[in-house]
Amino acid sequence: MKFLPTLCLSAFLLTSTGCAGLFVAGAATTANIVTDTRTTQEIWYDNNVEFEVAGLSNKVPYRSQARIIASSYNGTVVLMGQAQNDGLLDQFVQQTRQLEGVKDVHTQVRIKPPITLGEISHDSWITTKVKSALLANKELNGVKVKVITEDKEVFLFGLVTEQQANIATDIARNISGVKQVIKAFQYDS
């Protein structure tokens, strides 16, 4: 019978605090959750927006005509990828704006054919190299920087100081294969 009160307390904690993800996520993502200032509901909305955008890009008319991914933080969405034409992109952006939890949309989608599987694989390798270099830097110890690479363009996200943003950007710029670094940071004062 002690199980039920514990379960109720756990459910209460999960719905009332931003650190609740710590109890659910386990040790593998503890550092990400502890440093995240969003509430559990805000994290859920942001993750849901990213999933919805992924689902939208797999539907007609976007399938094979566009490759668009999203990063969302507190309802601010950055769209990245490729679209065959402006009309297709405009339609996609409008549908993204209508998703629950979306407050603002920034577009970094390039008008060109979607990249190939080989190019996607190369982007993954670039992301791995950038993340490794960021983790190895002592000045960024404990700082969470999200890295997404699209067509050799590296996007950096996170809640950082201006100095941390500059260090992370310099590190990413010096990784072999990086064409451009785009800072999409939110700044902590």
> Are residues 124 and 156 located together in one domain of the fold?
yes
Question: Within a domain: residue 4?
Answer: no
Residues 123 and 103 placed together within one structural domain of the fold: no
Least confident range of 20-24, 28-32, 163-167: 20-24
What's the CA gap between 187 and 185, in Å, rounded?
A: 6
Tens-place pLDDT, residues 76-105? 999 999 999 999 999 999 999 999 989 999
With contact defined as beta carbons under 8 Å apart, do 134 and 175 qualify?
Answer: no
The DSSP secondary-structure symbol of 155 reads: E
Question: What single string gives the DSSP state of each residue in 94-128?
Answer: HHHHTSTT--EEEEEEEESPPPPHHHHHHHHHHHH
Question: Final residue of a domain: which of 64, 81, 111?
Answer: 111
Give the CA angle between residues 116, 52, 134 to the nearest 5°.
60
Which pLDDT does position 176 carry in this prediction? 97
Please tell me the pTM assigned to this model: 0.77
Would you place residue 62 in the very low, low, confident or very high pLDDT band (cuts 50, 70, 90)?
very high
Q: How many residues does the chain have?
A: 189
Average pLDDT value over all residues in the chain: 84
What would the pLDDT profile of 102-158 be if each residue is shown by its tens digit? 999 999 999 999 999 999 999 999 999 999 999 999 999 989 999 999 999 999 999
> Mean per-residue pLDDT for 52-81?
95
* In a domain? residue 33: no
| Residue 188 main-chain phi, psi, to 5 deg | -90, 125
Instruction: Report yes or no: 172 and 154 within 8 Å, Cβ to Cβ.
Output: yes
Last residue of a domain, one of 111, 146, 168: 111
Same domain, 45 and 101: yes
Determine the structural domain holding residue 55 and report its residue range: 40-111
- Measured over the CA atoms of residue 139, residue 142, residue 146 and residue 149, the dihedral's sign is positive
pLDDT of residue 88: 97
Instruction: Tell me how many domains the chain contains.
Output: 2
Residue 60 lies in a domain: yes
Residue 19 domain-assigned (yes or no)? no
Percent pLDDT > 90 in the chain is 70
Encoded tokens for 6: 């514990």
Give me the mean pLDDT over the 10-28 stretch.
Answer: 36
pLDDT at 26: 33
User: In terms of domains, do 107 and 122 share one?
Assistant: no
| Residue 155 CB-density burial (10 A; 0-12 exposed, 13-18 middle, 19+ buried) | buried
